[in-house]
Structure 1
Amino acid sequence: MGLSSTVCRYHGFSACLVGISSWMTAHQLKLNPSKTELLVIPGDPSPAQDLVLSLNNSMISPSATARNLGETMDNQLSFSSHVANVTRSCRFLLYNIRRIRPFRDWTTATLFWQVYL
C-alpha cells in the first residue's frame, strides 16, 4: 500500500465526514466536532492509524476507544474497556443502594436492585 492509496483513503474519509455533516444539517441536526470520535479498526497495522481528519477547522484524530449508544469499543475489539466501564457503573450503583438500604424496607430495596441492575 503506497502513499497515493493513503492519500485517496484520507480524501475519501474527509468527503464522507463532510457528507455526514451536510446530511445532519439538512435534517436540523448538528455534528459537534469536539465530541466526534474516530475509531480505526484495521485488519493489519497500516498508516491509516495515523489518520487525522478536519471538520469545521477542528481536528479529529483516532482514539483507542469510542463510545456509541452506551457501548465502549476499542480498536482491538477486545471489549475490555466496555467490561471495565460496566463493572465500574454496577459497583457504584451497588454502593449507593447499600448506603440507602438502612432507610428503606426490604421490598423497596429489592425494587432498587431490580431497577438499577
Structure 2
Amino acid sequence: MLLLGDVIRRHGIDFHSYADDTQLYVAVSPDDTGPLDGLLNCILDIKMWMGENFLQLYQDKTEVLVIGSEAERDRVQSYLSTHSMTTRDTVRNLGVILDADLSFDQHVNQLTKSAFYHLRNIARVRPFLSRASAEILIHAFITSRIDYCNALLSGVKKATLNRVQLVQNSAARLLTRTRKREHITPILKSLHWLPVSFRIDFKILLIVFKSVHGLSPSFISDLLLHMNLLESLGPQVQAC
C-alpha cells in the first residue's frame, strides 16, 4: 500500500506531515499555472488514496493560503476559484496565525489578547503571592506566549513588535509592583529579562547554532548555506 507521502512525492510537491495534519507547499508564478495544476492534481490523488483506504478528507478543514503581493494573490486566487477552491486570508499553523502579507498582525492581536487576559487574572491574585510564585505564573502564562515561535516576528513593523513589548512591560510592572510612570528598562535589566526584539535575535541565533552543530532537524539545517570564511576573505586574510 502506498503511503500518503509517496502519493504527494509523485507530484513533486513539498510537504510536511504531522500526526493529524499534512501541509503542502508550492512556489508559483502568477503567469505559470503549472505548479497550481500539479497541486490540484495532487489533492485529487489524495482524495482517491483516502477513499481506497476507507478514509475521508475533511473538506471544511482543508485551507489554502496564498502568500505574495496583492496583485499576485488575485491572479492565483482567480485561477483556483475556477477549480472550486477558495483561499483564506489567514490560517493557523501550530498555533501561529499566518496571513497573506506575512505581517503577523492577526497573530500579534491574538497573542496580546490572550496574554493580557492572563495578566489580569494574575493581577487579581498577586496580593496573595510571593514574588517567586508570581514570577512562575508570569513565565508560564506570559513569557511562554511571547517566546513561542517568536523568530517569525523578525522584520515585522516596529509598531507590531511594540505591542508585544507592551505585554512584557506590563508583566514586569505587575511582578515588581512598579508604577507606570517609572522607566521600564532598569526594571527589565534587574529581572534579567531580554526585551522582545533581543529575544527574537537570540532565538534566531540559537536556531542557527543548533543547525550548524547538527542539533536541529534536517529540514532546518538544509536551509543553511555553509561558507568558508577564509575563502570568502581571500587575499585579505593571506596578507595578514
Instruction: Using structure 1 for the length normalisation, give the TM-score.
Output: 0.67
Q: What is the alpha-carbon distance in structure 2 between the residues aligned to residue 30 and residue 98 of structure 1?
A: 47
Could you say which structure has the higher helix fraction?
A: 2
Q: 1:15 to 1:88 in 2, by over 3 A?
A: same
Q: Of the two, which has the highest radius of gyration? A: 2
Could you say which structure has the higher strand fraction?
A: 1
Gaps of 5+ in 2: 1-29, 143-240
RMSD: 3.3
The residue aligned with 2:108 is: 83
Q: What is the alpha-carbon distance in structure 1 between the residues aligned to residue 125 and residue 44 of structure 2?
A: 49
Cα deviation code 1:16-45 (max 9, x no counterpart): 223455677899x87522122110113562
Which of residues 4, 25, 44 is equivalent to 1:18? 44
Gaps of 5+ in 1: none
Q: What is the alpha-carbon distance in structure 2 between the residues aligned to residue 83 and residue 10 of structure 1?
A: 31
2:129 matched to 1:105? yes
2:81 matched to 1:52? yes
AA of the residue aligned to 2:76: A
Matches of residues 1-12 of structure 1 in structure 2 within 5 Å? 6=33, 8=34, 10-12=36-38
Identity among equivalent pairs (%): 33
Q: What is the alpha-carbon distance in structure 2 between the residues aligned to residue 24 and residue 95 of structure 1?
A: 46
Contact 2:98 2:104 in 1 (8 A): yes
Which of residues 46, 52, 65 is equivalent to 1:39? 65
Q: What is the alpha-carbon distance in structure 1 between the residues aligned to residue 133 and residue 120 of structure 2?
A: 16
AA of the residue aligned to 2:113: R
Instruction: Using structure 2 for the length normalisation, give the TM-score.
Output: 0.37
The residue aligned with 2:209 is: none
